[in-house]
Chains A and B, each alone.
Chain A
Amino acid sequence: MRKIFILARREYRTAVRTKSFIIGLVLAPVFMGGSLIAFALLKDKVDLTEKHIAVIDHSGIMSDYLLQAVEERNKTEIFNQEKGEQVKPVYRLEIIPADTEDLQQLRIGLSERVRSKQIHAFIEIGPEILHPGKDAEKSRIKYYSENSAVDEVRDWFSWPVNNRIRQLRVEELNLTEETMKDLFTWINLDGLGLITVDKKTGDIQDARQISIGDTIIVPYIIVFLMFMMVLMSAIPLLTAVMEEKMNRIAEVLLGSVTPFEFMMGKILGGIAVSLTASAVYVAGGIITARQLDAGNMIPYDVLPWFFIFMVLNIVMVGSGMAALGSACNDNKDASALQFPAMIPVILPLFVMMPVIQEPLSSFSTGLSMFPPFTPMLMLLRLATPVTIPLWQPVAGLAGVLVFTILSVWAGGRIFRTCILLQGQKPKLVNLVRYVVRG
């Protein structure tokens, strides 16, 4: 054991002193959170240039109302009184007479004006919007612009247009303003967690509002963090062992340590590197979440499972990778093996969404009990707001433990045979033979 620690310490020191580790420690979260941060920073950067919008009103009931609504908006909505600055662009409306002979020519002309940036967009309001008839075409409101799918102007105009229609319909029904409001009040079903009672104090903890973040983002982040840690420490063992074999470092060390100690030293070093990196990420995540008042999203009860499963996953995958690395003779062998060897780590990523949606389904439960997938999928299920019966992670853990011991045993046998064997291709048949014969 002492020798394993000496080997692991060397691996650890070598790894954490490299620039790539330090840069990776900083850059990985930046890449992960980069788009979110960029989105958060840029969403306030609004284009404040005046937006000219042309309106062809076939219904004859909208033009005046829209002119008023736009004027009202320009007065009340575009300035932030507290900051004393403009936060939204001014809209200018241009009413185009609809009584033209050649409507298509009018549309072409307006399209050209949009292209040449004279106007931002034009809206064509159908004649039968108040009471849609059989001809659906006549009750459409068309918004023409260069990027109409994602366009704040279009979103804004939906409100005054529909308000006006609603107002006119209500007037026809002789309803009062108050009853009209009630008529259209939509009430959402709030997603809540469950009420808990503290077993020691008896305090009742109210149900918490469950957001999309709790349901999807938190489990995703936790499992991706584990995936990254396995990528960082277990997968590179393949090439690292292959290089030490080719550089003849292996035989020198085998004068002082057994092949098993050699392999375990490398794996333990990898675990230490991962624990360091993940501790930094987890601590960073907790601090950031608390700063953003999202501390209640952190599943503290899942964190111990995260570390237990991560360590076992690295041992399980790492021993396989080290064994394969010992069977390789050059980079070509190693790159041919790398992807197939990574499949057990990558596959769980593909089923994350169905597992998150139905954490208790037999599909999710079954896959999460399959030892190579257990660390990532059981963790994923545990990280969702749904309560997983305790026997499942415990049984899963037992399965992973057994599988890890098997993996280390088989890996050790391959490693011992292959680490000094030159010129033999790492064929599956040979590897199985080494495991069986030792």
Chain B
Amino acid sequence: MNIIELRGITKKFDGLVAVNNLSLNVPQGSIYGFIGPNGSGKTTTIRMIMNILYPDSGQIFLFGSEHYGARMENVGYLPEERGLYKKMKVRDLLFFHGELKNGKNLAHEIDYWLKKMDLSAWAEKRAETLSKGMSQKLQFIATIIDRPQLIILDEPFSGLDPVNAEVIRTAVLELQKSGATIIFSTHDMNMAEMMCDYIFMIYKGNKVLDGTLESIKDAYGADTIRIHSEKGMEALAGIPGIAAVNDFGQMQEIRMEAGADVHKILSGIIARTKVSRFEVTKPSLNDIFIRIARPVKSEEYA
């Protein structure tokens, strides 16, 4: 069963198309990653799912029925830009959000999540005394305090240090195991690759990728070479069959032209420098993202 079904939704702002004829199915129990450059339409799509914005055309189905009017129960939403009532105490704040969401066993849930997020000692402190990382964890708890069936997280990891990001990641996976469906948008491609069952990419309002990570990578094929050599970038200039190169300093990632011969490229490089690593692979999600979002620059190399 699909928890969310978007059928040809379009949203314009002052004549500019923010989301164009978008259709998407989010299966129950999955983690769906929304990726795309800034301003591509991720947040607009999420706001339409949340019924905060209304689509100009198209239909939205949530939990199998058409989404019209307020339907907020069983949905937890963490917006990209988020604030809290700073003067409220942490526990009171979570109670407030829990009550708004009609949560059950709130006292128990609040204790459970505060402990899990290592915030128990701050329960009676005002929200304004929390550090940025702690505030973000508190906002996350407020979002999921009623254990909603659908959780929508807009950039949940932005600004978090690796330790806190890991805490949130673990919590998200726990919620998925308990049956929740999770959508999150992110710029962190590693996190998306690690966590997501499905990836959806939107670019300039249009859907450009949608499917499992494997199916997306398969569509691009094994067209990527990761290489480590003594001369680095210098050794790659002018070798036929190379469409673009991403230089990571210690390593270069080569995108081959369609139909190019791997062996010819390798022998061309070996003739110029000593190669210590050579690996033919599918492109990373990061690379796919950049290819779509920055097509012109990549082609400049050739």
List chain A positions with a Cβ less than 8 A from chain B.
3, 6-7, 10, 14, 244, 247-249, 251-258, 261, 420
> If the complex has contacts A255-B50, A258-B70, are A248 and B82 also in contact, measured as CB distance less than 8 A?
yes
Query: Across the interface, do B85 and A256 meet the contact criterion of CB distance under 8 Å?
Result: no
Chain A CB within 8 A of B72 CB: yes
> If the complex has contacts A251-B52, A251-B79, A420-B47, are A256 and B100 also in contact, measured as CB distance less than 8 A?
yes
Chain A CB within 8 A of B302 CB: no
Residues in B whose Cβ lies below 8 Å from that of A248: 79, 81-83
Query: Across the interface, do B82 and A254 meet the contact criterion of CB distance under 8 Å?
Result: no
17 contacts between A and B (CB under 8 A): A7-B100, A10-B85, A14-B87, A248-B82, A252-B83, A253-B100, A254-B52, A255-B52, A255-B77, A255-B78, A255-B143, A256-B77, A256-B97, A258-B70, A261-B70, A420-B52, A420-B53
Residues in A whose Cβ lies below 8 Å from that of B142: 252
Chain A CB within 8 A of B96 CB: yes
CB distance from B97 to the nearest CB of A (A): 7
Chain A CB within 8 A of B110 CB: no
> If the complex has contacts A248-B79, A252-B139, A420-B52, are A257 and B72 also in contact, measured as CB distance less than 8 A?
yes
Query: Across the interface, do A252 and B87 meet the contact criterion of CB distance under 8 Å?
Result: no
B85's closest neighbor in chain A, by CB? Answer: A249
CB distance from A249 to the nearest CB of B (A): 4
A261's closest neighbor in chain B, by CB? Answer: B70
B47's closest neighbor in chain A, by CB? Answer: A420
CB distance from A162 to the nearest CB of B (A): 69
Query: Across the interface, do B72 and A256 meet the contact criterion of CB distance under 8 Å?
Result: yes
B53's closest neighbor in chain A, by CB? Answer: A420
Residues in B whose Cβ lies below 8 Å from that of A420: 47, 52-53
Query: Across the interface, do B82 and A251 meet the contact criterion of CB distance under 8 Å?
Result: yes
Chain A CB within 8 A of B101 CB: yes
Alpha-carbon distance between A255 and B78 when the two chains are bound, in angstroms: 8
CB distance from B42 to the nearest CB of A (A): 14
Alpha-carbon distance between A347 and B192 when the two chains are bound, in angstroms: 59
Residues in B whose Cβ lies below 8 Å from that of A261: 70
Alpha-carbon distance between A6 and B79 when the two chains are bound, in angstroms: 21
Alpha-carbon distance between A3 and B70 when the two chains are bound, in angstroms: 12
CB distance from B102 to the nearest CB of A (A): 8
Alpha-carbon distance between A235 and B234 when the two chains are bound, in angstroms: 68
Within 8 A of A (CB), among B121-147: 139, 142-143
Chain A CB within 8 A of B166 CB: no
Query: Across the interface, do A249 and B100 meet the contact criterion of CB distance under 8 Å?
Result: no
14 more CB-based (< 8 A) A-B contacts, given A256-B72, A256-B97 = A3-B100, A7-B100, A10-B88, A10-B96, A248-B82, A248-B83, A249-B83, A249-B84, A251-B52, A252-B142, A255-B50, A255-B52, A255-B75, A420-B52
Instruction: Across the A-B interface, give the 8 residue pairs with the lowest CB-CB distance, nearest first.
Output: A255-B77, A248-B83, A247-B83, A249-B83, A256-B100, A251-B79, A248-B81, A258-B70
Within 8 A of A (CB), among B1-55: 47, 50, 52-53
Alpha-carbon distance between A252 and B139 when the two chains are bound, in angstroms: 9
Residues in A whose Cβ lies below 8 Å from that of B139: 252
> If the complex has contacts A251-B52, A420-B47, are A256 and B81 also in contact, measured as CB distance less than 8 A?
no
Most buried by B among A10, A244, A255: A255
Most buried by A among B52, B75, B87, B143: B52
Alpha-carbon distance between A247 and B81 when the two chains are bound, in angstroms: 9
CB distance from B12 to the nearest CB of A (A): 13
Most buried by A among B78, B82, B88: B82
Residues in A whose Cβ lies below 8 Å from that of B101: 256
Chain A CB within 8 A of B76 CB: yes
Residues in B whose Cβ lies below 8 Å from that of A251: 52, 79, 81-82
B102's closest neighbor in chain A, by CB? Answer: A2
Residues in B whose Cβ lies below 8 Å from that of A6: 96, 99-100
Query: Across the interface, do B72 and A255 meet the contact criterion of CB distance under 8 Å?
Result: yes
Alpha-carbon distance between A257 and B139 when the two chains are bound, in angstroms: 16
CB distance from B11 to the nearest CB of A (A): 13
CB distance from B222 to the nearest CB of A (A): 42
Alpha-carbon distance between A261 and B69 when the two chains are bound, in angstroms: 12
CB distance from B16 to the nearest CB of A (A): 14
A253's closest neighbor in chain B, by CB? Answer: B100
Most buried by A among B85, B87, B88, B143: B85
B89-103 contact mask (Cβ, 8 Å, vs A): 1 or 0: 000000011011100
Residues in B whose Cβ lies below 8 Å from that of A244: 83
Query: Across the interface, do B84 and A252 meet the contact criterion of CB distance under 8 Å?
Result: yes
Residues in B whose Cβ lies below 8 Å from that of A256: 72, 77, 97, 100-101
Residues in B whose Cβ lies below 8 Å from that of A14: 85, 87-88
CB distance from B53 to the nearest CB of A (A): 8
B136-160 contact mask (Cβ, 8 Å, vs A): 1 or 0: 0001001100000000000000000
Query: Across the interface, do A257 and B100 meet the contact criterion of CB distance under 8 Å?
Result: yes
CB distance from A136 to the nearest CB of B (A): 73
Most buried by A among B50, B78, B99, B101: B99
Residues in B whose Cβ lies below 8 Å from that of A7: 100
CB distance from B84 to the nearest CB of A (A): 7
CB distance from A105 to the nearest CB of B (A): 75
Query: Across the interface, do B87 and A254 meet the contact criterion of CB distance under 8 Å?
Result: no
Alpha-carbon distance between A240 and B2 when the two chains are bound, in angstroms: 40
Alpha-carbon distance between A102 and B82 when the two chains are bound, in angstroms: 89
Residues in A whose Cβ lies below 8 Å from that of B96: 6, 10
Alpha-carbon distance between A331 and B99 when the two chains are bound, in angstroms: 31
Residues in A whose Cβ lies below 8 Å from that of B52: 251, 254-255, 420
Alpha-carbon distance between A247 and B127 when the two chains are bound, in angstroms: 13
A419's closest neighbor in chain B, by CB? Answer: B52
B48-67 contact mask (Cβ, 8 Å, vs A): 1 or 0: 00101100000000000000
Residues in B whose Cβ lies below 8 Å from that of A255: 50, 52, 72, 75-79, 143
Alpha-carbon distance between A252 and B79 when the two chains are bound, in angstroms: 6
CB distance from B167 to the nearest CB of A (A): 20
Most buried by A among B47, B70, B88: B70
Residues in A whose Cβ lies below 8 Å from that of B72: 255-258
A260's closest neighbor in chain B, by CB? Answer: B70
Alpha-carbon distance between A248 and B81 when the two chains are bound, in angstroms: 6
B199-224 contact mask (Cβ, 8 Å, vs A): 1 or 0: 00000000000000000000000000
Alpha-carbon distance between A58 and B124 when the two chains are bound, in angstroms: 87
Residues in B whose Cβ lies below 8 Å from that of A10: 85, 88, 96
Most buried by B among A7, A253, A257: A253
